[in-house]
């Protein structure tokens, strides 16, 4: 095997893709844990509890390390505009996005809520990457995104067409889709900062702090200034599960935040759609949710779309290099 062949083989999956896949597996676990205790929990409170582990890690990091990118007198200081961008993106992703997804899980179940949120993530990621980041998906990536979008639509179709709960299903789908759009905003902000020299740990910390501050304020307003008003209905088991989900969520967010350093937002969003595939099995095996044939077809399409988008051009390039070596 020649050196070019070895390089081509190693490059089939890059750092960004592996990190995005780790994020997808972690998010699937978070969704399952969150789904298991979502009933009866105020979505604001549930989202806040889930962010506590990462918030503590981020705060400790900033206080202990005092990174130069946060020091105004340092040459590496990011500046207020970029820090504001990260903070606001955190509000949109971790506060608004989490609340919407929590509501979707409660209204339409794990499979449909995950499908809708992934649709928002994939299509929103492609749009933001194209029109805001000026990094449009190209070639096979566009084909992969289109196939993934069709797969997601297939998984959502049974709920939308349901006669018994049509209005609720549509509302749950819409809010879950919107959650996905808000999630990708944070990824775009993180990529923008890291392209300008900021570390992924700083991007991770500031976006999370922004989200937690917004969530805490929202919870305080809903509780009329007294947090105790929202706690009586929450059991210690629910809190424990949400904190556990928060720890896994920290791994997921860290993986995705670092992934966008190595590849564009559209590519990361496409790989994250695999959460739907993982969530499908969890919904059936763990929660006993009914899985329609269209869900299976949709999940297959999502998996095929991701494989097309990721391996299609790289596999062709590898074979092209091998053919050139033979010549």
Span 72-81, pLDDT tens digits:
989 889 999 9
Overall domain count for the chain? 1
220 belongs to a structural domain? yes
pLDDT, averaged across the chain: 83
More confident residue, 116 or 145: 145
The reported pLDDT for the residue numbered 232 is 65
318 belongs to a structural domain? no
The reported pLDDT for the residue numbered 316 is 52
Instruction: With CA atoms as reference, report the closest residue to 108 among 188, 21, 174, 14.
Output: 174
| C-alpha atoms less than 13 angstroms from C-alpha of 300 in its C-beta half-sphere | 6
129 pLDDT above the threshold of 80: yes
Helices (H), 162-199: 166-195
- CA–CA gap between residue 239 and residue 131 (Å, rounded): 40
- CA–CA gap between residue 26 and residue 6 (Å, rounded): 30
163 pLDDT above the threshold of 50: no
How would residue 315 be classed by pLDDT, with cut points 50, 70 and 90?
Answer: low
200 belongs to a structural domain? yes
Token reading at 127: 């749009």
84 pLDDT above the threshold of 70: yes
* Per-residue model confidence as pLDDT tens digits over 178-235: 999 998 998 999 999 988 776 889 999 999 999 999 999 988 888 887 767 766 678 8
- How would you classify residue 280: left for phi > 0, otherwise alpha for psi between -120 and 50, otherwise beta? alpha
326 belongs to a structural domain? no
320 belongs to a structural domain? no
- The predicted model gives 282-292 an average pLDDT of 78
| C-alpha atoms less than 13 angstroms from C-alpha of 129 in its C-beta half-sphere | 24
5 belongs to a structural domain? no
Task: Check: CB of residue 230 under 8 Å from CB of residue 304.
Answer: no
100 belongs to a structural domain? yes
Domain boundaries, position 87? 13-313
- CA–CA gap between residue 90 and residue 203 (Å, rounded): 10
Quickly list DSSP for 226-240: -GGGGSTT--HHHHH
- The predicted model gives 154-169 an average pLDDT of 66
319 belongs to a structural domain? no
Look up the pTM and report it. 0.84
């Amino acid at each position: 095997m020649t050196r070019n062949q070895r390089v081509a083989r190693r490059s089939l999956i890059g750092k960004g893709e592996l990190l995005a896949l780790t994020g997808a597996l972690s998010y699937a676990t978070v969704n399952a844990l969150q789904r298991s205790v979502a009933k009866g929990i105020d979505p604001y409170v549930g989202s806040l509890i889930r962010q506590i582990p990462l918030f503590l890690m981020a705060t400790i990091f900033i206080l202990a390390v005092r990174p130069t990118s946060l020091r105004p007198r340092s040459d590496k200081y990011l500046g207020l505009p970029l820090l504001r961008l990260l903070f606001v993106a955190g509000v949109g992703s971790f506060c608004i996005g989490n609340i919407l997804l929590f509501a979707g899980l409660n209204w339409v179940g794990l499979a449909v809520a995950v499908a809708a949120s992934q649709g928002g993530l994939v299509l929103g990621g492609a749009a933001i990457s194209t029109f805001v980041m000026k990094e449009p998906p190209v070639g096979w990536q566009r084909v992969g995104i289109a196939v993934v979008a069709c797969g997601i639509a297939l998984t959502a179709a049974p709920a939308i067409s349901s006669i018994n709960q049509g209005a609720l299903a549509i509302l749950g789908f819409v809010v879950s889709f919107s959650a996905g759009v808000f999630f990708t905003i944070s990824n775009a902000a993180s990529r923008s900062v890291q392209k300008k020299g900021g570390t992924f740990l700083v991007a991770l910390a500031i976006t999370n702090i922004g989200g937690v501050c917004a969530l805490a304020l929202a919870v305080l307003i809903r509780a009329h200034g007294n947090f105790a008003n929202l706690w009586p209905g929450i059991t210690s088991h629910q809190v424990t599960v949400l904190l556990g989900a928060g720890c896994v969520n920290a791994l997921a967010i860290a993986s995705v935040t670092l992934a966008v350093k190595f590849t564009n937002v559209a590519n990361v969003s496409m790989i994250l759609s695999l959460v739907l595939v993982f969530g499908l099995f969890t919904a059936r095996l763990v929660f006993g949710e009914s899985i329609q044939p269209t869900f299976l077809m949709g999940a297959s399409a999502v998996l095929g779309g991701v494989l097309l988008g990721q391996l299609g051009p790289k596999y062709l390039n590898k074979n092209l290099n091998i053919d050139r070596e033979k010549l």
